Structure 1
Amino acid sequence: MTPHDFTHRLDSRMLGPVGAARLWWSFPDDEDARRDAARIPVTPEAPLPDPSSGMLAVTWLGHASTLLWVDGVTVLVDPVLSPGIPGAAKRLTPPGRTVETLPRVDAVLISHDHYDHLDVRTFASLPRATRIVAGLNTAAFFRARGFTDVVELDWWSSIGLPGLSGEVRVEFVPARHWSRRTLTDRCHRLWGGWVVTAPDGRSIYHAGDTAYGSFLKRIAGRHRRIAIAALPVGAYAPRDLLREVHMDPAEAVRAAGVLDVQRVVPIHWGTFVLSGEPVLEPIEATRRAWARSGRAREDLWDLPIGGSRTL
């Protein structure tokens, strides 16, 4: 029987009113944020990978919104393509794609229900037959909005999608985070990340939204051929408030080491003002941490918004 909520899985401190007020007052000035955001490269409607090639590839659409391409299967993770979200100003940078110019997708994966990852305005423009895959207790949310093909998964459970050379597995994995959209649904829907695995065993990991934690070792032990990881690097300051829910850039690079993954796509930055660090600091700090780690520069896939990279 599915529990009413997942508070028993919570290993992060949720912000109370005082912490939320502190966070809000830490936000950079809007003029400064938009000046910095103007330096973020955006390539709207750039050419996309060809799914018929069967390669592994990633397209970053801004924030956590990402297209993953695995053995002919195309999945869309956390699509937030509208002009803004509740609780934040309008987006700083345009999305890499509009809903109308998205490619055909085999499934949409939702990491959790926060507004910067689950956007009802984006979903309002998607066909109601779109397959939605999300954590436990999420199906009712989508069925109430007319979606007819909704799959709920617990951590470590998966579904199969037909690829070019066999079955592609889509597995829901733990994250150190939480969920809530209203005052009354605290931790009601399960949160997590995604591992999409090709028939040859290579996979792409999308962490969703998460702090650093011991669960990464469990993911690495279960998935030993993660070829690409999309890891969040933004929304981490003030650190004492957000350490338990968001990785900072240094932790993201350390997570890559734990996962034994060579190539990393930095996500969860440059789109919304959600925390106190300057807009460009997450990617600049990620590049510095990457260089300090001794990793090859070409393996840091710091894509422009709308950009793709193929393995």
Structure 2
Amino acid sequence: MPPPVLHPVGAKRFWPRSFAHRLTAPLPDVRALLRVAREGSLRPAPGTLGDVARLPCEPGPLPEPRPGETAVTWAGHASWVLRLGGLTVLTDPVWSRRILGTPPRVTPPGVAWDDLPPVDAVVISHNHYDHLDAPTLRRLPRRTRLFVPAGLGRWCRRRGFTRVTELDWWEAAELPSGDGRRVRFEFVPAHHWSRRTLWDTCRSLWGGWVLTCVGSGPRLPQQRVYFAGDTGYGHWFSEIGRRCPGIDVALLPVGAYEPRWMLKPVHTSPEEAVRACRDVGARVMAPMHYGTFLLSAEPPMQPLERVRAAWAAAGRPRADLWDLPVGASRVLGR
């Protein structure tokens, strides 16, 4: 497979007006939206809300990875604190209590903002409000490196960020790490879409990120983390596995999947997420995108229960399912 196309960090680039041709399924039409409104089927049934008290939330101290180790900490929803190659990277950081059009979060951020080490970089998967949270980004220094999908750089620069790198699918950029190597940020496809207002549908791209320590330096094991962002199930997972072999940990969404007739093209079910982990060739799967915001109709605990059952049914080792409570961590390589 060809290596990713490398681009300089922070380079300004020009993009097409729309990325709608990258959609792998049509967006919901007016009839679908009217059906959802009529059925009231985008929130859990009131009788299931008692599950909220059972959602696992165990904030703990951030681990200090040694050279050759990668630490992952789930802050909730699609927000992770990744520490690899001497860098601290946030994924889709949302520390706000509320996001537009959604009830308040049901579990607090798993890491207090003041407990974060200096953030070296942020990766954004797409511009939906539960993944691109302007109030959280405002808490970061404006020189923080942002890695974002094609077409989203202007939004970031208008908010004062000066080190913004926009990438297309299968493109990458690198930062020097703290152990003599480099951390590669590669943008990969997803089955999703983008919109932040009524007028910008698919004006920016959507996708996931593969982070890899590469290059010379101490003889340390290469470690590779795949952050899927928000995605439905489809052919891109196998392609990611072919182009990015040796993924150690796949951070995969398992929630916001009901009603299935509407959300199947853009949100994996727990069973599909387990298949996606197989497709990308990852040894370890860490579920996410549940237990923080109640975005859809499934009971709050159902994603966790179903992903555990699907993992067992697939014959995968129980120790390789990192079904972390919000705030918990694991260290790869320890």
Normalized against structure 2, the TM-score is what?
A: 0.89
2:188 aligned to 173, 182, 191, which one? 173
Judge conservation of contact 1:12–1:178 (CA < 8 Å) in 2.
no
Once residues 287 and 181 of structure 1 are traced to their aligned partners in structure 2, the CA distance between those partners, rounded to angstroms, is 33
Once residues 33 and 129 of structure 1 are traced to their aligned partners in structure 2, the CA distance between those partners, rounded to angstroms, is 44
Once residues 20 and 224 of structure 1 are traced to their aligned partners in structure 2, the CA distance between those partners, rounded to angstroms, is 39
Once residues 252 and 267 of structure 2 are traced to their aligned partners in structure 1, the CA distance between those partners, rounded to angstroms, is 10
Once residues 263 and 14 of structure 1 are traced to their aligned partners in structure 2, the CA distance between those partners, rounded to angstroms, is 32
- Structure 2 counterparts to residues 270-289 of structure 1, below 5 A: 270-289=291-310
Cα RMSD after superposing both structures: 1.6
Give the secondary-structure state (helix, strand or coil) at the position aligned to 1:226. Answer: coil
Give the secondary-structure state (helix, strand or coil) at the position aligned to 1:251. Answer: helix
* Alignment match, 1:20: 33
Answer yes or no: is 1:104 the counterpart of 2:104: no
Identity %: 50
Deviation at 1:121, TM superposition (A): 1.0
Alpha-carbon displacement from aligned partner over 1:185-206 (angstroms, at most 9, x marks no partner): 0001111000001224430000
Alpha-carbon displacement from aligned partner over 1:3-53 (angstroms, at most 9, x marks no partner): 011011111221234423444511345754652122112123x11121453
Answer yes or no: is 1:35 the counterpart of 2:50: yes
2:159 aligned to 140, 145, 151, which one? 145
Once residues 180 and 206 of structure 2 are traced to their aligned partners in structure 1, the CA distance between those partners, rounded to angstroms, is 30
2:199 aligned to 168, 184, 193, which one? 184
Once residues 104 and 23 of structure 1 are traced to their aligned partners in structure 2, the CA distance between those partners, rounded to angstroms, is 43
Answer yes or no: is 1:308 the counterpart of 2:329: yes
Give the secondary-structure state (helix, strand or coil) at the position aligned to 1:204. Answer: strand
- Give the structure with higher Rg (CA): 2
Give the secondary-structure state (helix, strand or coil) at the position aligned to 2:73. Answer: strand
- Structure 2 counterparts to residues 201-240 of structure 1, below 5 A: 201-240=222-261
Give the secondary-structure state (helix, strand or coil) at the position aligned to 2:273. Answer: helix
Moved more, 188-197 or 253-262: 253-262
Give the secondary-structure state (helix, strand or coil) at the position aligned to 1:185. Answer: coil
Judge conservation of contact 1:5–1:187 (CA < 8 Å) in 2.
yes
Judge conservation of contact 2:44–2:294 (CA < 8 Å) in 1.
no
Judge conservation of contact 1:34–1:92 (CA < 8 Å) in 2.
no
2:319 aligned to 298, 306, 310, which one? 298
* Alignment match, 2:63: 49
* Alignment match, 2:150: 136
Once residues 246 and 272 of structure 1 are traced to their aligned partners in structure 2, the CA distance between those partners, rounded to angstroms, is 15
* Alignment match, 2:15: 2
1:244 partner letter: P
Once residues 43 and 21 of structure 1 are traced to their aligned partners in structure 2, the CA distance between those partners, rounded to angstroms, is 39
* Alignment match, 1:79: 93
Give the secondary-structure state (helix, strand or coil) at the position aligned to 2:279. Answer: helix
In structure 2, relative to structure 1, the CA distance for the partners of 1:129 and 1:33 (3 Å cut) is farther
Judge conservation of contact 2:65–2:331 (CA < 8 Å) in 1.
no
Structure 1 residue runs without a partner (length 5+): none
- Structure 2 counterparts to residues 151-166 of structure 1, below 5 A: 151-163=165-177, 164-166=179-181
Once residues 83 and 227 of structure 1 are traced to their aligned partners in structure 2, the CA distance between those partners, rounded to angstroms, is 32
* Alignment match, 1:259: 280
